[in-house]
Amino acid sequence: MSLSTRYNPKETESRWYEYWEKKNYFHSEPDDREPFTIVIPPPNVTGVLHMGHMLNNTIQDVLIRRARMQGKNACWVPGTDHASIATEAKVVQLLRKKGIKKGDIGREEFLNHAWEWKEKYGGIILDQLKKLGASCDWERTRFTMDPSMSRAVVHVFVDLYKKGKLYRGLRMTNWDPEAKTVLSNEEVIYKEENSQLFHIRYPFEDNPTEGIIIATQRPETIMADVAIAVHPEEEKYKHLIGKNVLIPLINKPIPIIADSYVDREFGTGALKITPAHDQNDNEIGQRHNLPVVDILTEDGKLNEHAQILVGEDRFVARKKIKKLLEDSGTLVKLEDYRTSIGHSERTDAIVEPRLTNQWFLDMKDFAKTALHAVESKEVKFYPENMWNMFYQWLQEDNVRDWCISRQLWWGQRIPAWYVKTADGGRWMADGEEAVFVAENVEAALAQARQKTGNTGLTLNDLEQDEDVVDTWFSSWLWPISVFDGFENQEELKYYYPTSVLVTGWDIMFFWVARMIMSGYEWSEELLGKELAEKKGRMPFHDVYFTGMVRDNKRRKMSKSLGNSPEALELIENYGADGVRFGMLLAGSAGNDIIFDAPFDPETKQALNESKLCEQGRNFCNKMWNALRLVKGWPVSDAPQSKINQLAVSWLEHKFNQTLAGLENNFNQYRLSDVLMSLYQFIWDDFCSWYLEMIKPAYNAEGNSEPLDRATFEATVALFEKMMAALHPFMPFVTEEIWHQLRQRAEGQDCIVSRYPAPGAFDGNMIKLVDKAKDVITEIRNTRNGKGISPKEPLKLFVQNTDSAKAMYQLDGLTEMVGKMANLTSVELTGSEPEGTVAFISGTEKYFLELNIQIDVEAERERLTKELDYNRGFVTSVEKKLSNERFVSGAPAQVVENERKKLADGLEKIRILKEALAKL
């Protein structure tokens, strides 16, 4: 035989992937079939494949491959996200290494560098997905900054502006001083940290020896203070309201004001008000018409308004000011303090609240739309309880307007123009900078001419907004824009709404909610009312939320922690099929996944090992060896034996039973359950039982006797059906075995074969064989316990009862038990044969002739133990049945079952007593 004793994934996987691509199996064009569409959550173009990607793309591939095998037009659109902050940071870093500063080279040249970088490295993660076996339609690969996608962003921006949902305004925003850009609330990560609370005395203007003490975490911002606030009801301070105090170090007078926002219990009960550098202070400042003094630069340094420490970084300034306050005697107390501090998701810099001019999207109506979509189940969540989180987030009080502008260059530039004035400023209207939002500069110019009344304006008089839009402002259009839906609705009409979105719950708000919003906002306009009503406005019907992949300490796996195995190394070690198996079995929908990669005790880094992936690899090998066995048998035209008839028919019934269970699990996205039941069917039922049942004997020359043709054909047919059923999960090994099983004609490939549909099955027949399996196990167990080799043939007697007769009436069952347990004979008997050991299986009594001296005491002990167990069991059932309320209250079926249990138990007790008496 030419097949290697071990399955070799390396060679197989690359070969089949190339073949599938060559045959164009992944490609989809609209046709008459029902579409099944998935759009990939586009990974960052800067990214490399990590465990989260592996999990979520394996799941998508399972769903897509199954749909394809069900005869649907499966379309999985891949692509990448331009990830503006992350990518820009990366390119800035790269240029810095070359000694180039972003500010020196200007926007255009910087973007050239960025594109160059994208062209060079941007495809890496997609190539890695191919290694995993992802059957994406690569011809459809998209990038969120593709020209048509960028045009969609501009179109949508202008549309929303016209609808009055977009506005520009000066707002308190989260500022990242490192990236020098504003962040949305979702991009701020709060971390518990140690901090200090500074108690500082502000002297009274009219009596500098006395003063009021405030507590603050940010002493470096005192120069920006504009007031001290106290609670209006606070006795301690009531009389001070209206007095002026002096800011220490700069001696600037500020008033003491009253505001009920102040928490009387916190710190000293007096609060310094710094409207430029704190969200809450800003609101108080607005209530009291206080001025705003901004003392920080865009990169977090003190500016000239601070008067002192100008040019110092905010944290250096904090240290220095501590010293200055101590020296001046105004620092009265330092207190250790735990607080949560916001960090930038991308740069990890501590976020600075800052007043800036930004673009906002009004979210009120959008939030309602998204809530309604999920509430009405037009979009279904799996697992369902994710709805709770979604609901919570979209409550009116929680929804803030979406700040969509970013002070970056890499991304879609905001389509808004201003009119330059001679003095270098911008033309104002109604006290604000006049802004002209349009799809292009010419249209903006026309608007500007009309508004200013100056028909002589030229393109040179306009300047475009410097900012780009938030990355999510392009990815929220993804389900529409990957089909170029804003420009040409041909494909959109076929593929939209997509079938299912598979993504982690961590971007539920960033992305999932916003896609739902954009879907409902534009699909009707694009599809036409009739079609939108027929097919739905939602961007996807189902959302399958995957959990986060965590290490055994429950930390999210990340590159920086070093707690994640290398995805590609895992594939190298276990094969893509093995890794897919491991990922899928690790957890179920929504629950976080604890991935079992062990750690190197020395380096504390995760090793590229995994027990679950190993199990997957072993499974491949198991199936491979089953193939070798089947292919190795000579085939004859002899008639089919009774055993083989029984075996084939049993396996067919059992397979149908398994398939029937699969359907429901698939529909609920319980993929790990589906995989597990296939695993158990193939390993246990097919390999351990079926193949052993039909395995031909060896002749004197040590060669296998032939297998009859009917059984051989049935085996091959079942084997290939199993491979088809497993294909979505483990595509490579199944395709390989599929082709090894038979000569295949052109186009007969597992990937495009029909997914096996469940047929009828005889549950009673399956039960009888299960009973026989139990008998066989009992015999093997007896051999094990008494040290009798499996090779030594034994004689078995069955007590002749009605139930035993009914069982062994099944054609081939007697022979099957004899073969599997290595028995010379299986006989029904009326009396107990001498010198045998008795055991019970089901309600049948068996006697096994062992040809050895029987240890009577050991037998007595064993039987007594079993008797005790059964007595206890019967007692509990009797108790239940003697309860009048149970008998009258429980459904008849349940009571009937209890009666049966009782009868069986009593029968067992009778048999055991009899056996004990005979000893």
Which of the residues 329 through 348 are near RNA (CB under 7 A)? 340
Give me the least distance between CB of 135 and RNA, in Å please. Answer: 24
Provide Rg for the chain, Cα atoms: 37
Residue 870 binds RNA, judged by CB under 7 A:
yes
586 binds RNA (CB under 7 A): yes
Q: Which of 634, 790, 793, 872 is the binder for RNA (CB under 7 A)?
A: 790
Q: Does 593 bind RNA (CB under 7 A)?
A: yes
Choosing from 107, 169, 190, 868, the residue that interacts with RNA (CB under 7 A) is 190
Q: Which is nearer to RNA, 305 or 611 (CB)?
A: 611
Give the Cα separation of 152 and 486 in Å (integer). 6
Task: Return d(Cα 50, Cα 550) in angstroms, integer.
Answer: 12
Task: Single out the segment in contact with RNA by CB under 7 A; choices: 71-79, 435-443, 466-474, 617-625.
Answer: 617-625
Q: Which of 33, 225, 46 is closest to 118 using CA atoms? A: 46
Candidates 93-101, 296-304, 352-360, 776-784: pick the segment binding RNA (CB under 7 A): 776-784
Nearer to RNA, 455 or 893 (CB): 893
Token digits of residue 504: 């982690």
Binding status of residue 591 toward RNA by CB under 7 A:
yes
Interface residues for RNA in 538-567 (CB under 7 A)?
A: 552, 554
CB within 8 Å of 302: residues ≥ 6 apart: 220, 223, 295, 296, 308, 309, 310, 311, 312, 314, 317
Q: CA of 715: how far to CAs of 647, 749, 759, in Å?
A: 10, 19, 17
Q: How far apart are CA 89 and CA 338, in angstroms?
A: 31
Cis peptide before 497 (omega within 30 of 0): yes
Residue 660 and residue 757: Cα distance in Å, rounded? 8
Within positions 898 to 917, which residues make up the interface with RNA, using CB under 7 A? 898, 901, 904-905, 908
What is the x/- site pattern for RNA, positions 685-714, by CB under 7 A? Answer: --xx--xx--x--x---xxx----------
Q: Which of 480, 494, 482, 490 is nearest to 31 (CA)?
A: 494
**Omega before residue 383 within 30° of 0, cis:** yes
Q: Which two tokens stand for residue 674?
A: 């589906």
The residue within the footprint of RNA, chosen from 24, 328, 636, 781 (CB under 7 A), is 781
- Min dist CB 507 to RNA, Å, is 11
The reply to whether 822 sits near RNA by the rule CB under 7 A is: no
Choice from 668, 801, 822, 829 touching RNA (CB under 7 A) = 668
- In sequence order, which ranges of 558-641 are alpha helices (DSSP H)? 567-586, 611-632
Helix (H) or strand (E) holding 64: helix 51-69
Residue among 587, 728, 731, 812 that touches RNA (CB under 7 A): 587
The residue among 47 and 582 lying less far from RNA, judged by its C-beta, is 582
Q: How far apart are the C-alpha atoms of 64 and 671, rounded to whole Å? A: 13
Q: Work out which of 146, 673, 762, 815 binds RNA, going by CB under 7 A.
A: 673
Judged by CB under 7 A, the chain residues 106 through 135 that form the site for RNA are: none
**Which of 106, 169, 208, 632 is in the footprint of RNA by CB under 7 A?**
632
Q: Is 626 in the site for RNA (CB under 7 A)?
A: yes
- State how far the Cα of 715 lies from the Cα of 701, in Å rounded to an integer: 25
Return the residues of window 3-62 that contact RNA according to CB under 7 A. 5-7
Does 618 contact RNA by CB under 7 A? yes
745/673 Cα distance (integer angstroms): 34
Cβ proximity to RNA: between 629 and 635 the closer is 629
310 near RNA, judged by CB under 7 A:
no
Residue 205: CB minimum distance to RNA, A: 34
The distance of closest approach from Cβ of residue 876 to RNA in the complex, given in angstroms and rounded to an integer, is 9
Give the whole-angstrom CA distance, residue 738 versus residue 730: 12
Helix (H, G, I), strand (E, B) or coil at 583: helix
Distance separating alpha carbons of residues 341 and 815, to the nearest angstrom = 74
How many residues lie near RNA (CB under 7 A)? 79
Tell me the C-alpha distance between 845 and 912, whole Å.
9
Least separation, in Å, of the C-beta of 279 and RNA?
8
- Six-digit token string for 169: 């305004």
Among the listed ranges 97-105, 253-261, 455-463, 625-633, the one in contact with RNA (CB under 7 A) is 625-633
Q: Which of residues 193-252 bind RNA (CB under 7 A)?
A: none
Determine if 881 is a binding residue for RNA (CB under 7 A). no
Token pair for residue 363? Answer: 């979210």
Contacting residue, 429, 459, 894, 919, with RNA by CB under 7 A: 894
Q: 379, 323 in Cβ contact below 8 A?
A: no
Q: Which positions ≥6 away from 664 have C-beta within 8 Å?
A: none
* Sole window of 78-86, 268-276, 439-447, 586-594 interacting with RNA (rule: CB under 7 A): 586-594
Phi and psi of 910, rounded to 5°?
A: -60, -45
Q: Give the separation between CA 516 and CA 526, rounded to whole angstroms.
A: 15
Distance CA 487, CA 147 (A): 12
**Cα torsion angle, 728, 732, 733, 736, sign:** positive
For position 421 contacting RNA by CB under 7 A, the verdict is no
**One residue of 99, 147, 242, 891 binding RNA per CB under 7 A:** 891
Window of 196-204, 442-450, 681-689, 805-813 that interacts with RNA by CB under 7 A: 681-689
Range 359-418, binding RNA (CB under 7 A): 385, 388-389, 392-393, 398, 400
Q: Which residue from 706, 815, 886, 916 is in contact with RNA, where contact means CB under 7 A?
A: 886
Interface with RNA by CB under 7 A: which range of 23-31, 144-152, 363-371, 892-900?
892-900
CB nearer to RNA: pick between 519 and 905: 905
Q: How far is the CB of 195 from RNA (least distance, A)?
A: 13
